[in-house]
Amino acid sequence: MGTFFQKSSPAIKTQKRKEIIMAEFDLIVIGAGPGGYVCAIEAAHKGLKTAIVEKRDVGGTCLNRGCIPTKALLHSAELYEELKKCEKYGINVEGASFDFGKIHEYKAGVVTKLRTGVESLFTANGITLIRGAAVITGEGKVEVDGTEYTAENIVIATGSTPAKPPIKGLDLEGVITSDELLDGEVQFDTSLIIIGGGVIGMEFASVYAALGTDVTVIEAMDRVLPTLDREISQNLSMILKKRGVKINTGAKVTEIKKNDDGTMTCCYEAKGKVGEAVGQRVLVAIGRRPHTEGLFGEGVEVETERGRIVVDGNFATSMKGVYAIGDVSSRIQLAHLASVQGIYIADKLAGGECHIDLSLVPSCIYTSPEIAAIGITEDEAKAAGINYKAGKVLMHSNGKTIIADGERGFIKLVTDGDSGKVLGATLMCERATDMLSELSTAVANGLTVEEMLKVMRPHPTFNEAVTEAFESINGTSIHSAPPRRR
């Protein structure tokens, strides 16, 4: 989290196990993922005596079994895909191939480097790292492997685990979740069935398709990425189908079977018809559920809703002095949201204020091309009865996109029809996730089209298309259609 991690403090403290020690802290954070470790470091910066408890690897799911390892695999897969078509760029590479084991070694090296960095931040900031499974035994009390610790406040940041639907055959060998795929035994699948066309499923579909795997996606909703702009879903489906990915939407999986040859068969129903998909393994990627197993001792409980810990506007639970952030309590499960919630809590407990707008959550999907969004879509503006203007620019005329031989992509903007303030943006193009922050700044600060057009964006860049997207709102872009109004 950049500037939040600069303060130096005494070295990390070591805790003995199997003893009853009353260690007083201002704050104990349970879970060292992106919500927990950012919260702990920010609290230490604010002068709070802080401890953090982690039973697995520091960094949580995001660093060890989620965001970071997935993007490392994507990087390798995209490089391999570039090599396969580099002859058109005048580069000759004979016999291009990949070693899946070494790809995972590279991924593991990235994870280890970042994990070590987080642990060094604990040391530098005088944070007590307690390794083991935490159990909240009462107000201000946390027990870890027989040792009891006390604190004025407790923050639960235990994250989430892969959700598993009640499907017959889900417990068969060969059916895995993203955790096993990223952190388990290295195995390359020449064919893979993915149950779930959400963010996790589509990112893995991109990785394996780039490596030449025969990928089949089965999604229960009527389109992949159903929570995003419909054009995003349609465009991504078209691109992936062109790469050989089979996509079945409106399909409900009824059973998974293991075949005599060791392959798996996934049976599903779609539009009144029965279908089957066969692959080496089945990846279940329908989402994640809050992780609270074993967290509360006998007679201790907090209010929950469908497994999610219920919190108020300040992330306080129903138990005095206990807060919950990140996937364990949030309806939106994203690492950067958990981190900001952690900063919010730390600032509040230290008597300050967090000035980040928690209502504006950037959405980033690392498919190829990338997808990014902030604020509201045109459909949402229409449904809300907002007087809006919408503009769109296609990336096929962007110089950097043509140089990079980019896929069909676009930038869409939604602005207030009266004030001209930017209300939302959706991008599907190369470097979309990197370009989103400029547009997030515009939405968060109520900047107008005219104010965004004051910026001179350099040429040639992917980002200069942002200028054209704003010009399309005014109908002045030479590469866009006339703006749409309501």
Catalytic residues, by residue number, are: 459
Angle formed at CA 130 by CA 128 and CA 133, multiple of 5 degrees: 150
Angle formed at CA 420 by CA 419 and CA 423, multiple of 5 degrees: 105
- Give SS3 for 247: strand
Q: Which two tokens stand for residue 357?
A: 């707008």
By the 8 A CB rule, do 325 and 394 touch? no
- Number of Cβ within 10 Å of residue 44's Cβ equals 26
B/e letters for 198-234, b = 16+ CB within 10 Å, e = fewer, are bbbbbbbbbbbbbbbbbbbbbbbeebbbeebbebbbe
Q: How far is CA 412 from CA 81, 389, 425, in A?
A: 28, 11, 6
Rg of the chain over all Cα atoms, to the nearest angstrom: 24
Q: How many CA atoms lie within 13 A of 446 on its CB side?
A: 2
By the 8 A CB rule, do 235 and 408 touch? yes
The residues, ordered by sequence, that sit 6+ positions from 456 with a Cβ below 8 Å of its Cβ are none
- Number of Cβ within 10 Å of residue 270's Cβ equals 15
How are strands ordered across the β-sheet holding 484-485? 363-365, 370-375, 422-429, 410-416, 388-394, 484-485
**Residue (of 269, 272, 268, 247) closest to 256 by Cα position:** 268
- Number of Cβ within 10 Å of residue 92's Cβ equals 7
The residues that bridge with 175 in the sheet, in sequence order, are 282
Report how far residue 218's alpha carbon sits from residue 229's, in angstroms, rounded to the nearest whole number: 20
In one letter, which amino acid is 417?
A: G
Q: Which helix (H) or strand (E) holds 182?
A: helix 178-183
**Residue (of 160, 164, 169) closest to 196 by Cα position:** 164
- Number of Cβ within 10 Å of residue 398's Cβ equals 25
Longest CA span, the chain:
73
- Number of Cβ within 10 Å of residue 477's Cβ equals 21
- Give SS3 for 58: coil
